[in-house]
Amino acid sequence: MLQRDSRIQLSVIVPVGPRHADLAQLHGEYRRGLDRIGRSYEIIYVLDGPDPESSEAFDRLLSDGERITVVRLTRLFGESTALMAGFEQASGETILTLPAYFQIDESEFGRLLAGLESADVVVCHRTPRAGGMLERARRNAFHGLVSWMTGMKLRDLGCSARAMRREVLQEISLYGDQHRLLPVLADRQGFRVLEIDVRQSPRDRFEGSYRTREYAHRFLDIFAVFFLVRFTKKPLRFFGMVGASLLCIGTALVVYLVVDRLFFDVGLANRPALLLSSLLVVLGLQLFALGLLGELIIFTHAGDLKDYQVDRIIEFPVSEKLP
């Protein structure tokens, strides 16, 4: 098991994937910003997959005497996995995640960490935000959908600069592309989430373009988190609601066909509606049964599940001599 260094107050985790800036320049800027804070810190770079260019850059930093930790993953696993791999090596009680490219001004690191005095997770809203009208419309639509599905009003989930207490990543296991929705998962676990306005780095520019597949992936991620946030502990409410709706529609259609046959002498043969109504009834029953099965699984493992966080415990002082 990794021995934690109690002298380290802040652990900085930087996942390095296919998109990254000049690593030597990035490290220099990050180090200048961290030196201003006045805390002992460590910087952990997680190289997500083989990348000879990035490996050479890290080797040069190490040979120059830079005190960094480099974690190399065997293949491309994704940013969520890279963050968790970096967290396993972290020693600090405070975790700061930063992207491998410029997003926020280095002078904002202190404000980001100061927000932890009143919250467990602090996320950034870059301002003034660059981008044209189409880009702003895309961002507003994405965050509006997240707000509607999760109830959280966040404005910049694309910013990877986040500060959090160590307990957050101890309670939340990230996988896939869930790193973007980490604040939503943290809020579900009872952690306090705070969003602050920070200055955007003047070098924060994305020159590429988003493909249709990327939008589809983001939508599926939102739906997955929506299900995790709302129905993880109560699957019957989701599957039961959908199943009951399909069952009612199918039953109503069956009743209509039966009445049509008995009182209006309309044949049932060669009627697609009969097949559709039967399919809806069967599908509705299956979804309802799936919800019941999920409830049984949750009930069986209820003793091992924990979906709350204790903020503090206040006890009444007991005197040594009781009357």
pLDDT, average across residues 205-226: 69
Segment of 189-193, 201-205, 220-224 carrying the highest mean pLDDT: 189-193
321 pLDDT band, cuts 50/70/90, is very low
pLDDT single digits (tens) 249-298: 999 998 988 888 888 878 777 788 888 999 999 999 999 898 888 888 77
Segment 116-128 mean pLDDT: 93
Q: What percent of the chain is modeled with pLDDT above 90?
A: 46
- Residue pair 161/102 in contact by the 8 Å Cβ criterion: no
Q: Name the pLDDT band for 140 (thresholds 50, 70, 90).
A: confident
What's at 275, amino acid-wise? Answer: L
Give the contacts of 171 (CB within 8 A, at least 6 positions apart): 189, 191, 309
- Please report which confidence band the pLDDT of residue 152 belongs to, taking 50, 70 and 90 as the band edges: confident
Taking 70 as the threshold, does the pLDDT of residue 45 lie above it?
yes
**pLDDT for residue 292:** 87
Do 220 and 142 touch, CB atoms closer than 8 A? no
Q: Does the pLDDT of residue 6 top 90, yes or no?
A: no
Region 177-185: mean pLDDT is: 86
pLDDT of residue 269: 75
Longest dimension (CA), the chain: 91
**Averaged over 130-158, what is the pLDDT?**
82
Higher pLDDT, residue 189 or 14: 14
| Whether residue 315 has pLDDT greater than 50 | yes
Phi, psi for 44 (deg, rounded to 5): -115, 115
> Average of pLDDT values for 146-150?
83
Distance (Å, whole) CA 4 – CA 85: 15
Name all contacts of 296-304 with Cβ < 8 Å and 24+ positions apart. Answer: 298/233, 298/234, 298/235
Q: How far apart are the C-alpha atoms of 156 and 216, rounded to whole Å? A: 19
Q: Which residue has the higher pLDDT, 13 or 220?
A: 13
Phi-psi bin for 65: left (phi > 0), alpha (psi -120 to 50), beta? left
pLDDT band with cut points at 50, 70 and 90 for residue 316:
low
Task: Evaluate if residue 318 carries a pLDDT over 60.
Answer: no
